[in-house]
Amino acid sequence: MTDKTVYEYKQSAKLFERALKVIPSGIYGHQGPAEGCFVPVTAFPFFSERAKGAYFWDVDGNRFIDYMCAYGPNVLGYNDDEVDEAAARQREKGDCITTPSRTMVDFAELLVDTVASANWAFFAKNGGDTTTLAIMTARAHTHRKKIVFFKGYYHGVAPWTQKIDYPGILPEDVANSLYVPWNDYEKLAETFAENKGEIAALISQPYWHGNFMDNILPADGFWRKVRKLCTDSGVMLIIDDVRTGFRLDLAGSDHYFGFEADLICFCKAIANGYNVSALCGKDFLKNTVSGLSYTGSYWLSAVPFAAGIASIKKMHRLDLPRLLNEKGEALARGLVETAKRRGFDLHVSGMPALFYLRLADDDVNGSPSLMLHQRWIAEMVKRGIYVTNHHNHFLNYALSEDDIKTTIEIADHAFAAL
């Protein structure tokens, strides 16, 4: 395979000019240049025209093998027929109606059957709706204020999740936040001891998947010890499975790592892109959740519930986490070998279904530089492999062996171009 002509983004650029006039930053979130992709923005397409399976096409007609999957929601492939048909059947009947549909009950029952630590489900719209509901539940149940976070966390954009020096955030928003390094059980136990009787919850992702850094799995026995510490201290253990959920284990990522959360937050992969999130939890917290003031305009909508049911049933049938793990391992193996052959040292971290990439050749005194990595990512994207330089990636079922083969071939060209 010869190297292909690199992509151009003329229509994306034109559209972005229009966007800048009527949307703050033009595009918000990770996808926008304001977030600081740390690659020349000219390497990335800004706007998509359509998507199917493992691909999307930008407004210039360029096709990408997409390893971001809409930052998680696309888990079965874009526009999966089975999910879309279930959603369309529900849409014929109705979506956002004054009273909820039977689909809501069906979906809650399916989640309770599927997720090991779930005795109930409460549906909302954003992942952040569920992390906020989880900390409110923990505070209402324990009558305590403090929340422990692992440094480098991401639990949404609500003010309590942000940092004291972020614009629009008050000291009061984060007055009860405690921060501990990931995998540091001693420091965690010390923090619990220093704040005895004051900690409402520990909130954590199932493993460390921060940005701009290699991802880090839990140390041996870490979660078992943390679970015991929380139980002994009367601290609610909240797992934020928004990013990892359904890709490691359909029964929950806590189940994958051998423990049970008190509260677990789902979004993204729960309904293959249909707009729903869910807080699940243990029976002893059900009455507390019932007593909170928490609702939203679209939270009873039936179409996302129908899509969620179809998605979870299909993921079950496929044993999807196993398949995604295999795809991720094959891809990582191929990329690392290709890098090595071209004389580069590519680090792959995190779980295979959500792999994180980093070229380590220009590390400075053991610290990542990321400069070379960013150049490589740019060469990949311009050749039709949508990867990112600062965030973990996501796999989906529609990604084929051929797609993985193509990706590795293009990686070879991208290394050659460096």
Residue 46: C-alpha distances to residues 262, 313, 390 (Å)? 40, 33, 17
Contact 159, 173 (CB under 8 A): yes
User: Residues 6 or more apart from 340 whose CB is under 8 A from it?
Assistant: 346
Give the span between the Cα atoms of 97 and 105, in whole angstroms.
15
**For residue 95, what are its two tokens?**
């979506």
Give the span between the Cα atoms of 208 and 217, in whole angstroms.
6
Task: Provide the residue type at 394 as one letter.
Answer: F
Q: Residue 127 or 218: which CB sits closer to a second copy?
A: 127
The CB-of-146 to a second copy minimum distance in angstroms stands at 10
Q: Residue 192 or 266: which CB sits closer to a second copy?
A: 266
Q: Residue 121 or 359: which CB sits closer to a second copy?
A: 121
Nearest CA to 205 among 235, 180, 182?
182
The CB-of-151 to a second copy minimum distance in angstroms stands at 16
Q: Residue 286 or 341: which CB sits closer to a second copy?
A: 286
Q: Residue 298 or 319: which CB sits closer to a second copy?
A: 298
The CB-of-120 to a second copy minimum distance in angstroms stands at 5
The CB-of-114 to a second copy minimum distance in angstroms stands at 12
Q: Residue 293 or 365: which CB sits closer to a second copy?
A: 293
Give the span between the Cα atoms of 134 and 140, in whole angstroms.
10
The CB-of-62 to a second copy minimum distance in angstroms stands at 11
User: Residues 6 or more apart from 100 whose CB is under 8 A from it?
Assistant: 300, 302
Residue 244: C-alpha distances to residues 29, 75, 264 (Å)? 19, 11, 11
The CB-of-106 to a second copy minimum distance in angstroms stands at 9
Give the span between the Cα atoms of 74 and 78, in whole angstroms.
6
Task: Provide the residue type at 63 as one letter.
Answer: R
Query: Three-state SS across 104-155?
Result: HHHHHHHHHHHCCCCCEEEEECCHHHHHHHHHHHHHHHHCCCEEEEECCCCC
The CB-of-356 to a second copy minimum distance in angstroms stands at 17
The CB-of-361 to a second copy minimum distance in angstroms stands at 27
Q: Residue 270 or 331: which CB sits closer to a second copy?
A: 270
Q: Residue 267 or 372: which CB sits closer to a second copy?
A: 267
